[in-house]
Amino acid sequence: MSKKRQVIIISIVVVVVTSIIIYIEFMMKPQNLGMNSEKVSPFAVYFHSNLSISIEGKPIKIPSQIGIDYKLWNDHSLDKFGFPGMPMDEEGKTTMPGMAPLYTTNDKGRITVGSITERDYTLGDFLRIWGELDTDDKVVNATVNGKAVTNYTNVKLEEGQQIKLYIQNKK
């Protein structure tokens, strides 16, 4: 093979390898170069509402991990809209649990709506997932952003809203 032909073949290989590397860095790993680094959310709907509850005038803590920890996840009727579990290793031995489409990650009353399907959710949906708030034989008054509402379970969850439940025993 002639020297000229060797130079041409080496040049073509270098161009192809360089093109592949550039493609991988720019298109498949955009975070490495800071280009197109907008995070793509797995959720079609994602926002937070805030809930506070008082029973007989005493505030109660809304537990963290509702809709994540199975001990705090009592109703599974909306599971198909939540984030599915997935393997955390290549062998599939460790699995990240899924999440309900309504869940908490702190004990401050912040409800996260994270749904893979675009649809509305209500406070009643969240309370069913939690399943631990006993309102039987009780009077429940509610406000949303300071305005009284009559049917608290039908309150549509929205970004940034402040929901307050005041629960009293019937006298």
The string of DSSP letters for 94-118 reads SEE--B-SEEESSSS-EEEEEESS-
Q: Mean pLDDT across the stretch 31-45?
A: 60
Q: Could you tell me the pLDDT band of residue 28, with boundaries at 50, 70 and 90?
A: very low
Which residues have CB under 8 Å from 22's CB, separation 6+? Answer: none
Looking at the fold, whether 70 and 128 belong to one and the same domain comes out as: yes
Rounded CA-CA distance 30/52 in Å is 41
Rounded CA-CA distance 154/122 in Å is 6
Which residues have CB under 8 Å from 60's CB, separation 6+? Answer: 53, 54
Instruction: Give the tokens for residue 86.
Output: 């997935």
Rounded CA-CA distance 113/8 in Å is 58
Q: How many domains, in total, are found in the chain? A: 2
Where helices occur in 34-146 by DSSP H, the ranges are 123-130
pLDDT reading at 26 higher than 80: no
Looking at the fold, whether 15 and 53 belong to one and the same domain comes out as: no
Q: Could you tell me the pLDDT band of residue 58, with boundaries at 50, 70 and 90?
A: very high
Looking at the fold, whether 15 and 54 belong to one and the same domain comes out as: no
Is residue 146 domain-resident? yes
SS3 26: helix
Sign of the CA dihedral with 142 first, then 146, 147, and 153 last: negative
Looking at the fold, whether 62 and 92 belong to one and the same domain comes out as: yes
Rounded CA-CA distance 84/100 in Å is 8
Q: Mean pLDDT across the stretch 13-22?
A: 63
- Of 151, 161, 158, 153, nearest to 52 by C-alpha is 161
Each residue's pLDDT tens digit, 141-151: 999 999 999 99
pTM value? 0.73
Is residue 17 domain-resident? yes
Segments forming the whole domain that contains residue 66: 45-169
pLDDT attached to residue 88: 65
Is residue 129 domain-resident? yes
